[in-house]
Structure 1
Amino acid sequence: MFRSLCNKLVLHTHTTCISFSNRNLTTTYLIRSISTSDTINHNTFTVSYLINSCGLSLQDAIFASKKVQFENPKNPDSVLTFLRNHGFDNTQISKFINNHPPLLLAKVDKTLKPKFDFFKTMGFSNPDLVKVLSSDPVILLYSLEKRIIPSCVLLKSIVQTDAKLISLIKRSAKILRCNQQKTLAPNIALLQNHGVPDSHIAMLLVTNPRSILQTFSCLNQKVEELKKMEIDPKESKFVRGISTLASMSKSTFQEKCDVYRSWGWSDDEIHVAFKKEPKCLEISPRKIMRNMEFFVNKMGVVSKSIAKHPLILMFSLEKRIFPRCSVIQLLISKGMVKKDYNFNTLLTISDEDFLKKFVTNFEDKFPEVVNAYQGKLNVL
């Protein structure tokens, strides 16, 4: 019986199957690693279809067959054809079905097509829509009228434009399937009731939509923590603080605080830095350490003074900090810039302004300033 099942799995094909190269070449080998009892208890036709038409491995197909079973390929074929016609490639379809096998039983005209049509009327391009749905295909199983459309209406009332709504959904498609009445609406109302402007809520939604998807009690706790720090809800740093706190566990937050403490910062100084720029605690411990080492050990900056200008810790060492500091060190050695130049100003001005003021302005007299900016001159 086991051999008969193996043969059926390998030989079963039909005219509408997708061509997944070498799938059947590995089937026999994979069967050896799966017990007879595991295999024979599953629907042979479904498993075979999942392998030959959807590109799943034998192991994945057997697991998926626990979630979906069928004896007729008509509906699954129509689903696969619909997905292919909308730009999904074999790899995406395989992942799509592997993650959510019940999609093979979805009715194309009743369940799938209306949702695709709705997203396209919003302004989604076909490639973007494929990307969004590949990242979270279960959206297609949620009600368009009861879940997706109401969520979009609420979100657009905050972000205002279709372009921003699309950007938001591309960042986190999950937001479309969250419970609007239990999560989305109460959380947005919570922020509004604390005086957070809609424009800042929109910014939070677009940059970190997951921070809005936490439970009401978790979000409320973060709001209260930020208010205790005397961060004004009307300032944009308030939602940046929510985003930062929502992006990590308490243990990770403490780990980053410990890195700052290792450089002599007190808890008050960490508080000052967070209050000035909450994102300074969102960067990795490794980046904090590397940038602090550079500023303190290479540039001679007093460690505690950085707490007053935490934004400079967020810049890339290779792309911004090192090139700019190299230029300044060269100009200091030439007597063109004072040694006590404000590093905060140096690092926060735009690339255009920096190049104009410190590179273009001096390159005729000191051609090597260009090499310093490009990292070709060792001056540090």
Structure 2
Amino acid sequence: MLRLRERIVSRLLSFSSTSTSAPATPPLRRLLSAVAAPIPPSRGFAVEEYLVHTCGLTRPQALKASTKLSHLKSPANPNAVLAFLSGLGLSSADVAAVVAKDPLFLCAGVERTLGPVVAGLTGLGLSRPEIARLVSLAHCRFRRRSIVSKMHYYLPLLGSFHNFLRALKCSPYLLTRDLDTTVKPNVAFLQECGLAACDIANLTMVIWGMLTSDLERLQTMVTCAEGIGVPRGSGMFRTALHAVAFQSEEKITAKLEYLKNTFRWSDTQVRNAVSRAPMLLGRSKDALQRRSEFLLAEVGLEPVCIAYRPIILCLSLEGRVRPRCYVVKFLNKNGLLDRDLSFHTAVMKTEKDFVEKYICPHKEAAPHLAQDYATACKGEVPENFRFT
């Protein structure tokens, strides 16, 4: 054990001396000293006190964590783990969070497990800060050597370490589910549905359990997407999967009925609208109701027009649709356009194009227009945009 502690300290000191970062902090020195110092046999090991005073846990956290560490008789291995984590660059707060979440991390073998894991992840191209970040998120999963093979699979699939972290936050079971029996069959099925690796990566970052759920659930989700009129392989298929993700058939049917009644659509029109803009299924009833009231009552659009151009329902009502409607009304009312401007055309322009084409040319005839438009985008209605 003494030789083990000496080797750990030697490696950490060697890393510290070659690092370009600031010298080791006093807490790290204290940890290194604790690792190197022999533990008097007569001195007991108070786990709860150790968790509070050495690891930085609160008293309630330490009380809860100590029940999992009652078998520890010496701080030798915990000291080695703390020194190892400090060597990776974890702050005292980070270390405390890891220990509070996974107290058994203190029992991990530094040379047997943690060292080889770090070596393997480094071999995959991860930097020490990235590995430290992974420790903070993976907790108990980091002290399993299988994490290296899983990262070897996920990094090229998801495109980058940053994407993997986003996916891990959304699907925390990525590092626990078996690759061969769960993840890889799901990926293969999605690829058969026409999704590219980038599509699968994007879905994994926004849909909980996308790759870690049972294949049957994934197949049901694909069936639901096809059921709303979006076939596999179409450009809208990824969006449709996001829209129906793990929703029951009953919920989807209820939302279709609500859309039909709210926008006065026929069965054909509601199916057409949802197939063109599947994200409508994710809109709240309140948001849909407000858009219906504005577009049908105030703007005067026909239901069929909205059904065949439903993307307008997915745009910000207050920050985009309503202000641009006011500008179009103002320009038409004051004869500042050679011909009537299509409301849909105005709404679908990028912000830059809209301002350049419909605001800037009227600086002399309507010097207040730019300010009025900016005010309307903040949710207010300027006097010049009151048309009653």
The equivalent position to 1:172 in structure 2, one of 163, 167, 172, is: 167
Would the alpha carbon gap of residues 318 and 199 (structure 1) be closer, same or farther in structure 2, given more than 3 Å must change? same
Match of 2:181 in 1: 182
Identify which range, 109-118 or 311-320, moves more after superposition. 109-118
Alignment of 1:58-137 (within 5 A): 58-69=59-70, 70-120=72-122, 122=124, 124=126, 129-137=131-139
Match of 1:305 in 2: 305
Match of 1:210 in 2: 209
Match of 2:9 in 1: none
Q: Distance in 1 between matches of 2:129 and 2:247?
A: 31
Match of 2:51 in 1: 50
Deviations 1:55-102 (A, max 9, x none): 333333222223333222222223223333434334333332222111
Deviation for aligned residue 1:53: 2.6
Is the contact between residue 45 and residue 75 of structure 2 (CA under 8 Å) also seen in structure 1? no
Would the alpha carbon gap of residues 133 and 332 (structure 1) be closer, same or farther in structure 2, given more than 3 Å must change? farther
Deviation for aligned residue 1:233: 1.4
Match of 1:244 in 2: 243
**1:315 equivalent in alignment to 2:298:** no
**Alignment partner of 2:236: what SS?**
helix
Alignment of 1:1-380 (within 5 A): 16=31, 45-69=46-70, 70-120=72-122, 122=124, 124=126, 129-144=131-146, 147-150=147-150, 152-153=152-153, 156=156, 158-159=157-158, 164-173=159-168, 174=172, 175-208=174-207, 210-246=209-245, 248=247, 253=252, 256-257=255-256, 259-263=258-262, 264-303=264-303, 305-337=305-337, 341-375=341-375, 377-378=382-383, 379=385
Q: Distance in 2 between matches of 1:99 and 1:47?
A: 15
Deviation for aligned residue 1:180: 0.8
**Alignment partner of 1:279: what SS?**
helix
Deviations 1:210-250 (A, max 9, x none): 32322100001111232344423112311222222226566
Would the alpha carbon gap of residues 151 and 119 (structure 1) be closer, same or farther in structure 2, given more than 3 Å must change? closer
**Alignment partner of 2:160: what SS?**
helix
Q: Distance in 2 between matches of 1:328 and 1:166?
A: 46
Q: Distance in 2 between matches of 1:110 and 1:142?
A: 10
Match of 2:26 in 1: none
Deviation for aligned residue 1:375: 1.3
**Alignment partner of 1:234: what SS?**
coil
Moved over 6 A (4+): none
* Pairwise CA RMSD: 3.4
Is the contact between residue 152 and residue 176 of structure 1 (CA under 8 Å) also seen in structure 2? no
Q: Distance in 1 between matches of 2:69 and 2:149?
A: 28
One-letter amino acid matched to 1:138:
C
One-letter amino acid matched to 1:80:
L
Is the contact between residue 247 and residue 282 of structure 1 (CA under 8 Å) also seen in structure 2? no
Would the alpha carbon gap of residues 304 and 93 (structure 1) be closer, same or farther in structure 2, given more than 3 Å must change? farther
Deviation for aligned residue 1:350: 1.9
One-letter amino acid matched to 1:326:
Y
One-letter amino acid matched to 1:237:
M
Q: Distance in 1 between matches of 2:190 and 2:334?
A: 53
Q: Distance in 2 between matches of 1:169 and 1:15?
A: 34
Is the contact between residue 139 and residue 177 of structure 1 (CA under 8 Å) also seen in structure 2? yes
TM-score of the superposition, structure 1-length normalised? 0.74
Q: Distance in 1 between matches of 2:330 and 2:118?
A: 58
Q: Distance in 2 between matches of 1:358 and 1:127?
A: 49
Larger Rg: 2
Is the contact between residue 259 and residue 288 of structure 1 (CA under 8 Å) also seen in structure 2? no
Match of 2:13 in 1: none
Deviation for aligned residue 1:105: 1.2
Would the alpha carbon gap of residues 59 and 342 (structure 1) be closer, same or farther in structure 2, given more than 3 Å must change? same
**Alignment partner of 2:51: what SS?**
helix
For structure 2, the 5+ residue unaligned runs are 1-28, 33-43, 377-381
Deviation for aligned residue 1:47: 2.0
Is the contact between residue 228 and residue 274 of structure 2 (CA under 8 Å) also seen in structure 1? no
Deviation for aligned residue 1:278: 1.6
Q: Percent identity?
A: 24
**Alignment partner of 2:56: what SS?**
coil
TM-score of the superposition, structure 2-length normalised? 0.73
**Alignment partner of 1:213: what SS?**
coil
Deviation for aligned residue 1:106: 1.5
For structure 1, the 5+ residue unaligned runs are 1-13, 18-42
One-letter amino acid matched to 2:69:
V
One-letter amino acid matched to 1:134:
S
